[in-house]
Amino acid sequence: MHHTKSEIHDGMRIDWDAPVTMDDGVVLRADVFRPVDEGRYPVILSYGPYAKGLAFQEGYKVPGCA
């Protein structure tokens, strides 16, 4: 069994490797960052098939660009 680790860091509540169950039963894992204070907030979603936790700029470098 996998347990989600939660912490408060830089004013955010972070749930690391939170399970997200798909319609077919497959469980994906996501890192969820949200404000510490309760309430309704807009969502910013970033996703990709590989490298959770890797900055997009590092994982998808454009050849010839610094």
Which residues are paired to 19 by β-bridges? Answer: 29
pTM: 0.64
Instruction: Report d(CA 28, CA 19) in Å as an integer.
Output: 6
pLDDT tens for each residue of 20-41: 999 999 998 888 999 999 999 9
Backbone angles phi, psi at 37, to 5 degrees: -75, 140
- The pLDDT score that the predictor gives to residue 28 is 87
Q: What is the mean pLDDT of residues 47-64?
A: 73
- The pLDDT score that the predictor gives to residue 39 is 93
- The pLDDT score that the predictor gives to residue 2 is 65
pLDDT grade, residue 44 (50/70/90)?
confident
